[in-house]
Amino acid sequence: MAYIWETLEFERIMRKALLRDLNSSHGETRFGLYTTARKYLLENVLDEIKKIQPNMTDHGPKHVRNVLQNVRELLGESIGEGDCPLEKPSEKDLNGIELYVLGLSALLHDAGNVFKRKEHQKQISPIYDLARCSDGGNQDAEEKQTILEICKAHCGDGIDGSKNTLKFVPESSKLERIRVRPNLLAPILRLADELAEGEQRTSHFMITNHKYAKKSIQFHRYALSSSVDIDRVHERILLKYHITLKLPNDPKKGHAKSHGPVISTSALHNFLSFVYKRIEKVNQERQYAKHYCYLLNPFKETSASFVFWYKQQEISVPLDPVVFSDLVVPGDPQRSVVDNNSSYKEKALVQALKKAVRGMNT
Q: pLDDT tens digits for 294-342?
A: 999 999 999 999 999 999 999 988 899 999 998 766 666 678 999 888 9
pLDDT of amino acid 257: 75
One-letter amino acid of 345 = K
Residue 142 has pLDDT above 70, yes or no: yes
Decide: 211 and 277 in contact? Cβ < 8 Å. no
DSSP-derived 3-state class of residue 344: helix
pTM of structure: 0.94
Q: pLDDT tens digits for 260-307?
A: 999 999 999 999 999 999 999 999 999 999 999 999 999 999 999 999
From the list 179, 148, 351, the residue with the least C-alpha distance to 268 is 351
The residues facing 109 across adjacent strands are none
pLDDT of amino acid 79: 97
Helices (H), the chain: 9-21, 24-44, 49-52, 61-75, 96-108, 125-132, 137-152, 182-194, 204-208, 217-225, 268-292, 337-340, 346-361
The residues facing 179 across adjacent strands are 174
pLDDT of amino acid 248: 87
What confidence category does residue 202 fall into, taking pLDDT thresholds of 50, 70 and 90?
A: very high
In angstroms, the Cα distances linking 298 to 164, 232, 264, 302, 311 are 22, 7, 39, 12, 40
- Kindly state the DSSP code that residue 253 receives in the 8-state scheme: S
What confidence category does residue 209 fall into, taking pLDDT thresholds of 50, 70 and 90?
A: confident
Q: pLDDT tens digits for 215-243?
A: 999 999 999 999 999 999 999 999 999 99
Sorted by sequence, the CB contacts under 8 Å of residue 319 that are 6+ apart come out as 305, 306, 343, 344, 349
